[in-house]
Chain A
Amino acid sequence: MELNRSFLLQLQILTKRMVLRVVRRPLAELPNIFISAFFLFVYDGALGDVFGGSVSGTPFDFANGNFVNFILPVSILSASLSGAASGIYLVEDIESGVFKRYQSMPISKWAIILAPMNVGAVKVLLQASLILLIGNIIGADPAVGAIGYLVVLSLAFIGGMGIAGYSVAAGVKSGSSQGAQAATFLFFPALFLAPTFVPREALKGWLQTAAAFNPTTYLIESMRSVLVEGWVIDVLVKGYLVGGIFAAITLFLAVTSARKATEKA
Protein backbone atom coordinates (compact mmCIF):
# COMPACT_ATOMS: atom_id res chain seq x y z
CA MET A 1 0.00 0.00 0.00
CA GLU A 2 1.46 3.35 -1.02
CA LEU A 3 1.84 5.81 1.83
CA ASN A 4 1.92 9.59 1.49
CA ARG A 5 3.66 11.35 4.35
CA SER A 6 4.56 14.64 2.73
CA PHE A 7 5.11 17.59 5.05
CA LEU A 8 2.32 19.63 3.47
CA LEU A 9 -0.19 16.81 3.79
CA GLN A 10 0.72 16.32 7.46
CA LEU A 11 0.41 20.06 8.06
CA GLN A 12 -2.97 20.08 6.35
CA ILE A 13 -4.26 17.12 8.41
CA LEU A 14 -3.04 18.58 11.70
CA THR A 15 -4.43 22.03 10.84
CA LYS A 16 -7.80 20.48 10.03
CA ARG A 17 -7.75 18.74 13.39
CA MET A 18 -7.03 22.07 15.13
CA VAL A 19 -9.86 23.75 13.21
CA LEU A 20 -12.21 21.02 14.44
CA ARG A 21 -11.08 21.77 17.99
CA VAL A 22 -11.80 25.49 17.53
CA VAL A 23 -15.20 24.84 15.95
CA ARG A 24 -16.14 22.54 18.83
CA ARG A 25 -15.50 25.32 21.35
CA PRO A 26 -17.26 28.28 19.78
CA LEU A 27 -17.79 30.03 23.11
CA ALA A 28 -14.02 30.30 23.59
CA GLU A 29 -13.85 32.58 20.55
CA LEU A 30 -16.55 34.99 21.65
CA PRO A 31 -14.80 37.09 24.33
CA ASN A 32 -12.11 38.43 22.01
CA ILE A 33 -14.54 39.26 19.21
CA PHE A 34 -16.89 40.84 21.72
CA ILE A 35 -14.17 42.96 23.35
CA SER A 36 -12.86 44.15 19.97
CA ALA A 37 -16.35 45.11 18.75
CA PHE A 38 -17.12 46.62 22.16
CA PHE A 39 -14.02 48.85 21.95
CA LEU A 40 -15.13 50.09 18.55
CA PHE A 41 -18.65 50.98 19.65
CA VAL A 42 -17.71 52.43 23.04
CA TYR A 43 -14.77 54.55 21.86
CA ASP A 44 -16.75 55.82 18.90
CA GLY A 45 -19.74 56.46 21.16
CA ALA A 46 -17.69 58.28 23.80
CA LEU A 47 -15.18 60.14 21.67
CA GLY A 48 -16.72 60.21 18.22
CA ASP A 49 -18.46 63.51 18.79
CA VAL A 50 -15.45 65.06 20.54
CA PHE A 51 -12.92 64.22 17.83
CA GLY A 52 -15.32 63.55 14.96
CA GLY A 53 -17.16 65.61 12.41
CA SER A 54 -18.02 68.47 14.76
CA VAL A 55 -14.36 69.43 15.20
CA SER A 56 -13.60 69.82 11.51
CA GLY A 57 -11.12 72.61 11.05
CA THR A 58 -10.14 72.77 14.77
CA PRO A 59 -6.89 71.56 16.42
CA PHE A 60 -8.78 68.39 17.42
CA ASP A 61 -9.48 67.47 13.84
CA PHE A 62 -6.95 64.61 13.62
CA ALA A 63 -9.64 62.16 12.48
CA ASN A 64 -10.43 64.18 9.39
CA GLY A 65 -14.06 64.25 10.40
CA ASN A 66 -14.48 60.47 10.81
CA PHE A 67 -13.52 59.10 14.22
CA VAL A 68 -14.45 55.50 13.26
CA ASN A 69 -11.58 55.56 10.74
CA PHE A 70 -9.30 56.80 13.51
CA ILE A 71 -10.27 54.29 16.23
CA LEU A 72 -10.79 51.23 14.00
CA PRO A 73 -7.08 50.12 14.13
CA VAL A 74 -7.31 49.78 17.93
CA SER A 75 -10.17 47.30 17.60
CA ILE A 76 -8.43 45.55 14.73
CA LEU A 77 -5.30 45.04 16.82
CA SER A 78 -7.44 43.87 19.70
CA ALA A 79 -8.87 41.26 17.30
CA SER A 80 -5.30 40.29 16.35
CA LEU A 81 -4.76 39.21 19.95
CA SER A 82 -6.71 36.10 18.92
CA GLY A 83 -3.42 34.93 17.40
CA ALA A 84 -2.37 34.23 20.99
CA ALA A 85 -4.54 31.14 20.82
CA SER A 86 -1.78 29.40 18.84
CA GLY A 87 0.37 29.01 21.93
CA ILE A 88 -2.57 27.88 24.00
CA TYR A 89 -3.51 25.20 21.42
CA LEU A 90 0.05 23.90 21.35
CA VAL A 91 0.36 23.78 25.12
CA GLU A 92 -3.03 22.05 25.44
CA ASP A 93 -1.63 19.30 23.23
CA ILE A 94 1.50 19.07 25.37
CA GLU A 95 -0.57 18.92 28.56
CA SER A 96 -2.97 16.29 27.23
CA GLY A 97 -0.23 14.02 25.89
CA VAL A 98 -1.40 14.39 22.26
CA PHE A 99 1.92 16.11 21.46
CA LYS A 100 3.80 13.04 22.76
CA ARG A 101 1.63 10.72 20.70
CA TYR A 102 2.54 12.65 17.55
CA GLN A 103 6.18 12.63 18.55
CA SER A 104 6.11 8.83 18.74
CA MET A 105 4.94 8.75 15.11
CA PRO A 106 7.04 9.52 12.04
CA ILE A 107 5.52 12.99 11.64
CA SER A 108 7.45 16.17 10.86
CA LYS A 109 7.90 18.16 14.08
CA TRP A 110 7.45 21.33 12.05
CA ALA A 111 3.99 20.19 11.02
CA ILE A 112 3.13 19.66 14.70
CA ILE A 113 4.36 23.17 15.59
CA LEU A 114 3.02 25.03 12.55
CA ALA A 115 -0.52 23.61 12.64
CA PRO A 116 -1.64 25.68 15.67
CA MET A 117 0.05 28.74 14.17
CA ASN A 118 -1.87 28.23 10.93
CA VAL A 119 -5.11 28.16 12.87
CA GLY A 120 -4.03 31.26 14.81
CA ALA A 121 -3.39 33.06 11.52
CA VAL A 122 -6.80 32.13 10.15
CA LYS A 123 -8.43 33.28 13.40
CA VAL A 124 -6.66 36.64 13.20
CA LEU A 125 -7.84 37.16 9.62
CA LEU A 126 -11.42 36.13 10.38
CA GLN A 127 -11.76 38.21 13.53
CA ALA A 128 -10.07 41.26 11.98
CA SER A 129 -12.30 40.93 8.90
CA LEU A 130 -15.37 40.81 11.11
CA ILE A 131 -14.30 43.98 12.94
CA LEU A 132 -13.60 45.67 9.60
CA LEU A 133 -17.08 44.74 8.45
CA ILE A 134 -18.61 46.17 11.63
CA GLY A 135 -16.44 49.30 11.18
CA ASN A 136 -17.66 49.64 7.62
CA ILE A 137 -21.26 49.34 8.72
CA ILE A 138 -20.91 52.04 11.37
CA GLY A 139 -19.19 54.49 9.08
CA ALA A 140 -15.55 53.63 8.34
CA ASP A 141 -14.49 55.00 5.00
CA PRO A 142 -10.80 54.48 4.12
CA ALA A 143 -9.12 57.54 2.62
CA VAL A 144 -7.44 55.30 0.01
CA GLY A 145 -10.65 53.48 -0.87
CA ALA A 146 -11.63 49.85 -0.27
CA ILE A 147 -8.06 48.67 -0.83
CA GLY A 148 -7.32 50.31 2.53
CA TYR A 149 -9.18 47.45 4.19
CA LEU A 150 -6.78 44.96 2.62
CA VAL A 151 -3.80 46.99 3.84
CA VAL A 152 -5.28 47.07 7.36
CA LEU A 153 -5.96 43.34 7.20
CA SER A 154 -2.40 42.55 6.12
CA LEU A 155 -1.00 44.67 8.97
CA ALA A 156 -3.36 42.96 11.41
CA PHE A 157 -2.13 39.62 10.11
CA ILE A 158 1.51 40.56 10.69
CA GLY A 159 0.71 41.79 14.20
CA GLY A 160 -1.32 38.64 14.89
CA MET A 161 1.54 36.43 13.79
CA GLY A 162 3.87 38.33 16.12
CA ILE A 163 1.49 37.66 18.98
CA ALA A 164 1.08 34.01 17.90
CA GLY A 165 4.85 33.51 17.91
CA TYR A 166 5.15 35.09 21.33
CA SER A 167 2.34 32.97 22.76
CA VAL A 168 3.87 29.74 21.42
CA ALA A 169 7.26 30.65 22.92
CA ALA A 170 5.67 31.68 26.25
CA GLY A 171 3.42 28.62 26.31
CA VAL A 172 6.19 26.13 25.66
CA LYS A 173 8.44 27.89 28.18
CA SER A 174 5.78 27.96 30.91
CA GLY A 175 4.53 24.48 30.03
CA SER A 176 0.92 25.29 30.81
CA SER A 177 -1.99 26.78 28.90
CA GLN A 178 -2.62 29.16 31.83
CA GLY A 179 1.00 30.29 31.53
CA ALA A 180 0.51 30.98 27.82
CA GLN A 181 -2.68 32.88 28.55
CA ALA A 182 -1.10 34.93 31.32
CA ALA A 183 1.95 35.79 29.22
CA THR A 184 -0.11 37.03 26.30
CA PHE A 185 -2.09 39.28 28.61
CA LEU A 186 0.93 41.60 28.36
CA PHE A 187 -0.30 42.67 24.94
CA PHE A 188 -3.39 44.21 26.38
CA PRO A 189 -1.61 47.10 28.15
CA ALA A 190 0.58 47.42 25.04
CA LEU A 191 -2.55 48.38 23.18
CA PHE A 192 -2.86 51.43 25.43
CA LEU A 193 0.80 52.41 25.69
CA ALA A 194 0.35 53.71 22.17
CA PRO A 195 -1.44 56.54 20.35
CA THR A 196 -4.71 54.75 21.01
CA PHE A 197 -7.11 57.70 21.33
CA VAL A 198 -5.09 60.64 20.05
CA PRO A 199 -2.07 61.08 17.77
CA ARG A 200 1.37 60.45 19.28
CA GLU A 201 2.19 64.17 19.40
CA ALA A 202 -0.75 64.75 21.75
CA LEU A 203 0.46 62.18 24.34
CA LYS A 204 2.23 63.23 27.55
CA GLY A 205 6.03 62.94 27.53
CA TRP A 206 6.41 59.59 29.32
CA LEU A 207 3.64 57.98 27.28
CA GLN A 208 5.13 59.36 24.09
CA THR A 209 8.45 57.70 24.98
CA ALA A 210 6.74 54.40 25.84
CA ALA A 211 4.77 54.55 22.60
CA ALA A 212 7.95 55.10 20.60
CA PHE A 213 9.28 51.73 21.81
CA ASN A 214 5.99 49.90 21.36
CA PRO A 215 5.55 48.04 18.04
CA THR A 216 1.79 48.47 18.43
CA THR A 217 2.27 52.22 17.83
CA TYR A 218 3.64 51.70 14.32
CA LEU A 219 0.95 49.20 13.40
CA ILE A 220 -1.79 51.56 14.58
CA GLU A 221 -0.23 54.56 12.82
CA SER A 222 0.21 52.73 9.53
CA MET A 223 -3.36 51.43 9.60
CA ARG A 224 -4.58 54.92 10.42
CA SER A 225 -2.61 56.44 7.60
CA VAL A 226 -4.56 54.55 4.94
CA LEU A 227 -7.87 54.99 6.75
CA VAL A 228 -7.59 58.67 7.67
CA GLU A 229 -5.00 60.37 5.49
CA GLY A 230 -4.25 58.44 2.30
CA TRP A 231 -1.05 56.88 1.03
CA VAL A 232 1.63 58.11 3.47
CA ILE A 233 4.39 55.82 2.33
CA ASP A 234 6.99 56.40 5.08
CA VAL A 235 4.41 55.69 7.83
CA LEU A 236 3.19 52.61 5.96
CA VAL A 237 6.71 51.28 5.44
CA LYS A 238 7.49 51.82 9.13
CA GLY A 239 4.37 49.83 10.07
CA TYR A 240 5.25 46.88 7.87
CA LEU A 241 8.91 47.02 8.91
CA VAL A 242 8.36 47.21 12.67
CA GLY A 243 5.50 44.69 12.54
CA GLY A 244 7.59 42.39 10.37
CA ILE A 245 10.62 42.58 12.66
CA PHE A 246 8.40 41.99 15.71
CA ALA A 247 6.79 38.95 14.05
CA ALA A 248 10.16 37.62 12.86
CA ILE A 249 11.64 37.85 16.37
CA THR A 250 8.71 36.17 18.11
CA LEU A 251 8.38 33.49 15.42
CA PHE A 252 12.09 32.77 15.79
CA LEU A 253 11.57 32.45 19.57
CA ALA A 254 8.58 30.18 18.94
CA VAL A 255 10.53 27.93 16.63
CA THR A 256 13.56 27.64 18.94
CA SER A 257 11.47 26.96 22.04
CA ALA A 258 9.24 24.48 20.22
CA ARG A 259 12.30 22.76 18.79
CA LYS A 260 13.62 22.33 22.32
CA ALA A 261 10.27 20.88 23.38
CA THR A 262 10.43 18.29 20.62
CA GLU A 263 14.00 17.28 21.39
CA LYS A 264 14.63 14.21 23.47
CA ALA A 265 15.33 14.97 27.14
Chain B
Amino acid sequence: MLAVDVKNIKKTFISKQDKVEAVKDVSFQVKQGEIFGLLGPNGAGKSTTILMLTTLLSITDGSASVLGIDVSTKDKEVREKIGVALQDTGIDNLLTGRELFFTTCRLWGYSKKNSEKKTIELLELVGLMEAADRRVKTYSGGMKRRLDLGLSLVHSPEVLFLDEPTTGLDPGSRRVLWDEIKRLRDNGVTIILTTQYLEEADELADRIAIIDEGLVVAEGTSDQLKAGIGGDVITFSFENTDYLENAKNILKNTVQEKNELRITVEDGASKIPGYLKDLSSNGVEVSSVSASKPTLDDVFLQVTGYRLEGSEDIKKEEEKSKR
Protein backbone atom coordinates (compact mmCIF):
# COMPACT_ATOMS: atom_id res chain seq x y z
CA MET B 1 0.00 0.00 0.00
CA LEU B 2 1.21 3.50 -0.78
CA ALA B 3 1.82 5.84 2.13
CA VAL B 4 0.50 8.82 0.17
CA ASP B 5 -1.24 8.84 -3.19
CA VAL B 6 -1.98 12.25 -4.68
CA LYS B 7 -3.90 12.47 -7.94
CA ASN B 8 -4.24 15.79 -9.75
CA ILE B 9 -5.15 17.85 -6.73
CA LYS B 10 -6.03 21.51 -7.14
CA LYS B 11 -6.69 24.30 -4.67
CA THR B 12 -8.39 27.53 -5.63
CA PHE B 13 -8.99 30.28 -3.10
CA ILE B 14 -11.92 32.48 -4.05
CA SER B 15 -12.56 35.80 -2.36
CA LYS B 16 -14.77 38.74 -3.32
CA GLN B 17 -11.86 40.49 -5.02
CA ASP B 18 -9.75 37.62 -6.22
CA LYS B 19 -9.42 34.05 -7.37
CA VAL B 20 -6.06 32.44 -6.69
CA GLU B 21 -5.02 29.02 -7.94
CA ALA B 22 -2.50 28.10 -5.26
CA VAL B 23 -2.18 24.50 -6.46
CA LYS B 24 -2.94 23.94 -10.14
CA ASP B 25 -2.20 20.25 -10.64
CA VAL B 26 -0.13 18.20 -8.26
CA SER B 27 0.27 14.42 -8.41
CA PHE B 28 2.80 12.16 -6.70
CA GLN B 29 3.06 8.89 -4.87
CA VAL B 30 5.05 8.19 -1.72
CA LYS B 31 6.05 4.66 -0.74
CA GLN B 32 6.00 3.58 2.88
CA GLY B 33 9.24 4.22 4.72
CA GLU B 34 10.69 6.84 2.38
CA ILE B 35 11.42 10.52 2.74
CA PHE B 36 9.69 12.44 -0.01
CA GLY B 37 10.72 16.05 -0.55
CA LEU B 38 8.56 18.77 -2.05
CA LEU B 39 11.07 21.32 -3.28
CA GLY B 40 10.12 24.77 -4.45
CA PRO B 41 10.29 28.49 -3.74
CA ASN B 42 7.93 30.43 -1.46
CA GLY B 43 4.46 30.56 -2.95
CA ALA B 44 4.98 27.48 -5.13
CA GLY B 45 2.09 25.64 -3.44
CA LYS B 46 4.09 23.31 -1.17
CA SER B 47 2.47 24.33 2.11
CA THR B 48 -1.00 24.41 0.56
CA THR B 49 -0.43 20.85 -0.66
CA ILE B 50 0.62 19.77 2.84
CA LEU B 51 -2.43 21.49 4.39
CA MET B 52 -4.71 19.57 2.02
CA LEU B 53 -3.00 16.25 2.74
CA THR B 54 -3.21 16.81 6.49
CA THR B 55 -6.99 17.49 6.27
CA LEU B 56 -6.62 21.14 7.28
CA LEU B 57 -7.68 22.50 3.90
CA SER B 58 -10.29 21.18 1.50
CA ILE B 59 -9.25 19.91 -1.94
CA THR B 60 -10.88 21.87 -4.77
CA ASP B 61 -10.42 19.10 -7.30
CA GLY B 62 -8.63 15.75 -7.57
CA SER B 63 -8.12 13.19 -4.84
CA ALA B 64 -5.59 12.17 -2.24
CA SER B 65 -5.23 9.35 0.22
CA VAL B 66 -2.95 8.58 3.13
CA LEU B 67 -2.36 4.86 3.76
CA GLY B 68 -5.35 4.20 1.53
CA ILE B 69 -7.67 6.51 3.52
CA ASP B 70 -9.36 9.28 1.58
CA VAL B 71 -8.24 12.68 2.82
CA SER B 72 -11.38 14.56 1.78
CA THR B 73 -13.99 12.31 3.34
CA LYS B 74 -12.24 10.63 6.27
CA ASP B 75 -10.55 13.46 8.18
CA LYS B 76 -10.60 11.76 11.54
CA GLU B 77 -9.17 8.45 10.32
CA VAL B 78 -6.38 10.28 8.49
CA ARG B 79 -5.55 12.38 11.58
CA GLU B 80 -5.09 9.19 13.60
CA LYS B 81 -2.34 8.06 11.25
CA ILE B 82 -0.41 11.24 10.63
CA GLY B 83 1.90 13.56 12.52
CA VAL B 84 2.02 17.21 11.49
CA ALA B 85 4.61 19.92 12.11
CA LEU B 86 3.59 23.01 10.23
CA GLN B 87 5.66 25.97 9.15
CA ASP B 88 4.11 28.33 11.70
CA THR B 89 4.82 26.20 14.69
CA GLY B 90 1.83 26.12 16.98
CA ILE B 91 3.57 26.02 20.31
CA ASP B 92 2.31 27.54 23.53
CA ASN B 93 5.20 29.69 24.71
CA LEU B 94 3.84 30.07 28.24
CA LEU B 95 4.02 26.37 29.02
CA THR B 96 7.14 24.29 29.66
CA GLY B 97 8.33 21.60 27.27
CA ARG B 98 7.30 18.93 29.76
CA GLU B 99 3.80 20.43 30.17
CA LEU B 100 3.35 20.59 26.41
CA PHE B 101 4.33 16.97 25.88
CA PHE B 102 2.16 15.84 28.79
CA THR B 103 -0.86 17.84 27.58
CA THR B 104 -0.45 16.55 24.03
CA CYS B 105 -0.11 12.93 25.25
CA ARG B 106 -3.29 13.33 27.33
CA LEU B 107 -5.14 14.81 24.35
CA TRP B 108 -4.15 11.81 22.26
CA GLY B 109 -5.84 9.73 24.94
CA TYR B 110 -2.97 8.31 27.00
CA SER B 111 -3.52 7.79 30.73
CA LYS B 112 -1.71 10.09 33.16
CA LYS B 113 0.85 7.40 33.95
CA ASN B 114 1.55 6.61 30.30
CA SER B 115 1.63 10.31 29.43
CA GLU B 116 4.33 10.89 32.03
CA LYS B 117 6.33 7.96 30.66
CA LYS B 118 5.89 9.05 27.05
CA THR B 119 6.78 12.66 27.92
CA ILE B 120 10.16 11.54 29.26
CA GLU B 121 10.76 9.30 26.23
CA LEU B 122 10.01 12.12 23.81
CA LEU B 123 11.99 14.73 25.72
CA GLU B 124 14.99 12.42 25.52
CA LEU B 125 14.33 11.62 21.88
CA VAL B 126 14.47 15.27 20.80
CA GLY B 127 17.24 16.16 23.25
CA LEU B 128 15.23 18.56 25.42
CA MET B 129 15.41 16.76 28.75
CA GLU B 130 17.59 19.45 30.31
CA ALA B 131 15.25 22.22 29.19
CA ALA B 132 12.10 20.24 30.05
CA ASP B 133 10.98 22.51 32.89
CA ARG B 134 11.77 25.80 31.22
CA ARG B 135 9.02 27.78 29.53
CA VAL B 136 9.10 27.38 25.77
CA LYS B 137 9.51 31.14 25.27
CA THR B 138 13.10 30.72 26.51
CA TYR B 139 13.91 28.06 23.87
CA SER B 140 16.06 28.79 20.83
CA GLY B 141 14.64 28.41 17.31
CA GLY B 142 16.28 25.00 16.95
CA MET B 143 14.91 23.79 20.27
CA LYS B 144 11.41 24.92 19.29
CA ARG B 145 11.64 23.00 16.02
CA ARG B 146 12.79 19.87 17.85
CA LEU B 147 9.96 20.32 20.33
CA ASP B 148 7.54 20.73 17.43
CA LEU B 149 8.87 17.56 15.83
CA GLY B 150 8.57 15.71 19.15
CA LEU B 151 4.97 16.85 19.61
CA SER B 152 4.09 15.48 16.19
CA LEU B 153 5.46 12.08 17.25
CA VAL B 154 3.38 11.63 20.43
CA HIS B 155 1.03 9.05 18.90
CA SER B 156 3.78 7.27 16.89
CA PRO B 157 2.38 8.30 13.49
CA GLU B 158 3.01 6.16 10.43
CA VAL B 159 3.23 9.18 8.15
CA LEU B 160 4.84 12.46 9.16
CA PHE B 161 4.32 15.78 7.38
CA LEU B 162 6.99 18.41 7.98
CA ASP B 163 6.53 21.83 6.46
CA GLU B 164 9.90 23.53 6.04
CA PRO B 165 11.30 21.94 9.19
CA THR B 166 14.65 23.72 9.16
CA THR B 167 13.83 27.17 7.77
CA GLY B 168 15.62 29.82 9.79
CA LEU B 169 17.80 27.38 11.73
CA ASP B 170 21.55 27.66 12.11
CA PRO B 171 23.64 24.93 10.41
CA GLY B 172 24.26 23.04 13.66
CA SER B 173 20.57 22.86 14.56
CA ARG B 174 19.73 21.96 10.97
CA ARG B 175 22.13 19.00 11.07
CA VAL B 176 20.63 17.76 14.36
CA LEU B 177 17.16 17.88 12.85
CA TRP B 178 18.30 16.19 9.62
CA ASP B 179 19.80 13.33 11.65
CA GLU B 180 16.57 13.00 13.61
CA ILE B 181 14.48 12.91 10.43
CA LYS B 182 16.73 10.22 8.93
CA ARG B 183 16.53 8.20 12.13
CA LEU B 184 12.73 8.34 11.99
CA ARG B 185 12.81 7.13 8.39
CA ASP B 186 15.13 4.28 9.41
CA ASN B 187 12.53 3.31 12.01
CA GLY B 188 9.89 2.97 9.31
CA VAL B 189 8.16 6.37 9.45
CA THR B 190 7.19 7.78 6.07
CA ILE B 191 8.11 11.45 5.87
CA ILE B 192 6.83 14.09 3.49
CA LEU B 193 8.70 17.32 3.88
CA THR B 194 8.66 20.61 2.10
CA THR B 195 11.78 22.64 1.67
CA GLN B 196 13.16 25.54 -0.28
CA TYR B 197 16.71 24.36 0.33
CA LEU B 198 18.26 22.27 -2.47
CA GLU B 199 20.86 20.84 -0.10
CA GLU B 200 18.16 19.72 2.30
CA ALA B 201 16.27 17.92 -0.45
CA ASP B 202 19.51 16.39 -1.73
CA GLU B 203 20.63 15.30 1.75
CA LEU B 204 17.34 13.98 3.09
CA ALA B 205 14.88 13.03 0.40
CA ASP B 206 14.82 9.58 -1.17
CA ARG B 207 12.69 11.13 -3.91
CA ILE B 208 11.97 14.74 -4.79
CA ALA B 209 9.15 16.54 -6.54
CA ILE B 210 9.98 20.04 -7.74
CA ILE B 211 6.94 22.30 -7.45
CA ASP B 212 6.69 25.59 -9.27
CA GLU B 213 3.63 27.82 -9.60
CA GLY B 214 1.33 25.10 -8.32
CA LEU B 215 2.59 22.39 -10.67
CA VAL B 216 4.95 19.44 -10.27
CA VAL B 217 7.59 20.18 -12.91
CA ALA B 218 9.97 17.29 -12.17
CA GLU B 219 10.02 14.22 -9.98
CA GLY B 220 12.48 11.45 -9.15
CA THR B 221 15.47 10.61 -7.02
CA SER B 222 18.17 13.25 -6.82
CA ASP B 223 20.36 11.15 -9.15
CA GLN B 224 17.53 10.58 -11.61
CA LEU B 225 16.78 14.29 -11.74
CA LYS B 226 20.44 15.15 -12.29
CA ALA B 227 20.81 12.44 -14.93
CA GLY B 228 17.59 13.63 -16.53
CA ILE B 229 19.13 16.88 -17.68
CA GLY B 230 21.86 14.84 -19.46
CA GLY B 231 25.66 14.95 -19.41
CA ASP B 232 27.64 17.86 -18.04
CA VAL B 233 26.90 21.50 -17.44
CA ILE B 234 29.22 23.94 -19.24
CA THR B 235 29.13 27.46 -17.81
CA PHE B 236 30.34 30.42 -19.89
CA SER B 237 30.88 33.84 -18.27
CA PHE B 238 30.93 37.11 -20.21
CA GLU B 239 32.15 40.55 -19.30
CA ASN B 240 29.48 42.46 -21.19
CA THR B 241 25.93 41.93 -22.36
CA ASP B 242 26.78 42.28 -26.08
CA TYR B 243 29.01 39.24 -25.88
CA LEU B 244 26.38 37.42 -23.89
CA GLU B 245 23.58 38.21 -26.35
CA ASN B 246 25.72 37.19 -29.34
CA ALA B 247 26.72 33.98 -27.58
CA LYS B 248 23.06 33.17 -26.98
CA ASN B 249 22.49 33.18 -30.74
CA ILE B 250 25.54 31.03 -31.41
CA LEU B 251 25.08 28.45 -28.63
CA LYS B 252 21.67 26.82 -28.82
CA ASN B 253 19.55 25.68 -25.83
CA THR B 254 21.32 27.79 -23.25
CA VAL B 255 19.96 28.91 -19.89
CA GLN B 256 20.98 32.41 -18.85
CA GLU B 257 21.71 33.47 -15.33
CA LYS B 258 23.07 36.99 -14.82
CA ASN B 259 26.25 37.23 -16.97
CA GLU B 260 26.47 33.48 -17.44
CA LEU B 261 25.16 31.03 -20.00
CA ARG B 262 24.78 27.35 -19.20
CA ILE B 263 24.50 24.53 -21.64
CA THR B 264 24.01 20.88 -20.82
CA VAL B 265 25.75 18.40 -23.13
CA GLU B 266 27.21 14.91 -23.11
CA ASP B 267 30.95 14.78 -22.40
CA GLY B 268 31.21 18.53 -21.75
CA ALA B 269 34.98 18.80 -21.34
CA SER B 270 35.70 17.53 -24.84
CA LYS B 271 33.24 19.99 -26.40
CA ILE B 272 34.54 23.15 -24.77
CA PRO B 273 37.30 23.84 -27.38
CA GLY B 274 34.77 23.64 -30.22
CA TYR B 275 32.37 26.06 -28.51
CA LEU B 276 35.20 28.50 -27.74
CA LYS B 277 36.32 28.39 -31.36
CA ASP B 278 32.79 29.16 -32.61
CA LEU B 279 32.43 32.06 -30.17
CA SER B 280 35.86 33.48 -30.90
CA SER B 281 35.34 33.35 -34.68
CA ASN B 282 32.17 35.44 -34.16
CA GLY B 283 34.04 38.01 -32.10
CA VAL B 284 32.66 36.93 -28.73
CA GLU B 285 35.09 37.03 -25.83
CA VAL B 286 34.52 34.54 -23.04
CA SER B 287 35.92 35.56 -19.68
CA SER B 288 35.73 32.08 -18.13
CA VAL B 289 34.41 28.62 -18.90
CA SER B 290 33.97 25.50 -16.79
CA ALA B 291 32.38 22.06 -17.02
CA SER B 292 30.80 20.24 -14.10
CA LYS B 293 28.43 17.42 -13.28
CA PRO B 294 24.87 18.78 -12.86
CA THR B 295 23.67 19.60 -9.37
CA LEU B 296 20.13 19.80 -8.09
CA ASP B 297 20.58 23.53 -8.51
CA ASP B 298 21.13 22.96 -12.26
CA VAL B 299 18.09 20.72 -12.39
CA PHE B 300 15.98 23.41 -10.76
CA LEU B 301 17.29 26.04 -13.15
CA GLN B 302 16.64 23.75 -16.12
CA VAL B 303 13.03 22.91 -15.20
CA THR B 304 11.92 26.28 -13.88
CA GLY B 305 14.15 28.72 -15.75
CA TYR B 306 15.37 30.39 -12.56
CA ARG B 307 17.51 29.60 -9.58
CA LEU B 308 16.05 28.81 -6.19
CA GLU B 309 16.79 31.65 -3.81
CA GLY B 310 18.02 30.66 -0.39
CA SER B 311 20.06 27.68 -1.55
CA GLU B 312 23.12 29.90 -1.78
CA ASP B 313 22.51 31.15 1.77
CA ILE B 314 22.47 27.66 3.23
CA LYS B 315 25.74 26.82 1.42
CA LYS B 316 27.39 29.94 2.82
CA GLU B 317 26.12 29.21 6.32
CA GLU B 318 27.43 25.63 6.13
CA GLU B 319 30.84 26.86 4.99
CA LYS B 320 30.93 29.52 7.69
CA SER B 321 30.13 26.99 10.38
CA LYS B 322 32.89 24.66 9.15
CA ARG B 323 35.50 27.43 9.46
Contact = CB atoms under 8 A, between A and B. Distances in A.
Interface in A83-110: 93, 96-107
B103 interface: yes
Contact of A264 (B58, B89, B94, B135): B58
B13 A101 contact: no
A21 B110 contact: no
B57 A264 contact: yes
* Secondary structure of the B contact surface, majority rule: loop
Contact of B90 (A10, A20, A96): A96
B56 A103 contact: yes
Interface in B258-294: none
Given A103-B56, A104-B54, A96 B109 contact: no
Contact of A99 (B55, B76, B90, B99): B90
Contacts of B91: 96-98, 101
Interface residues of B, number: 32
Nearest to A6: B109
Interface string A159-183: 0000000000000000000000000
Interface string B26-38: 0000000000000
B94 A25 contact: yes
A107 B99 CA distance: 18
B56 A264 contact: yes
Nearest to B103: A17
Nearest to A14: B107
Given A24-B135, A98-B90, A104-B84, A17 B55 contact: no
Size range of the chain A interface in the assembly: 20 to 34
Given A17-B103, A21-B94, A100-B56, A1 B114 contact: yes
A179 to B, nearest CB: 19
A105 B56 contact: no
Which interface residue of A9, A14, A106 has the most chain B CB atoms within 10 A? A106
A98 B104 CA distance: 11
Nearest to B151: A101
B95 A100 contact: no
A264 B110 CA distance: 27
Nearest to A100: B90
B99 A20 contact: yes
A103 B55 CA distance: 9
Interface in B43-76: 54-58, 76
Given A4-B109, A105-B107, A105-B108, A17 B56 contact: no
A101 B76 contact: no
B107 A107 contact: yes
B307 interface: no
A5 interface: yes
A3 interface: yes
A3 B151 CA distance: 17
B253 interface: no
A13 interface: yes
Nearest to B106: A13
Contacts of B99: 17, 20
B86 A20 contact: no
B206 to A, nearest CB: 24
Contacts of A264: 55-58
B203 interface: no
B88 interface: yes
Contacts of B86: 97, 100-101, 104
A97 B88 contact: yes
Given A3-B110, A97-B86, A17 B92 contact: yes
Contacts of A96: 90-93
A259 to B, nearest CB: 15
A3 B79 CA distance: 15
Interface string A5-36: 10001100110110011001100000000000
Nearest to A101: B90
B109 A5 contact: yes
A106 B76 contact: yes
Contacts of A98: 90-92
A1 B151 CA distance: 19
A188 B85 CA distance: 41
Contacts of A106: 76, 79-80
Contacts of A101: 84, 86, 90-91, 151
B56 A4 contact: no
A265 interface: yes
Interface string B100-116: 00011011111100100
Contacts of B110: 1, 3
Interface of B: 13, 54-58, 76, 79-80, 82, 84, 86, 88-95, 99, 103-104, 106-111, 114, 135, 151
Q: What 3 A-B pairs have minimum CB-CB distances, sorted nearest first?
A: A3-B109, A97-B90, A101-B90
5 contacts: A10-B107, A99-B90, A101-B84, A105-B107, A265-B13
Given A17-B99, A96-B90, 10 more contacts: A9-B106, A13-B106, A97-B90, A97-B91, A98-B91, A101-B91, A102-B90, A104-B86, A105-B79, A106-B76
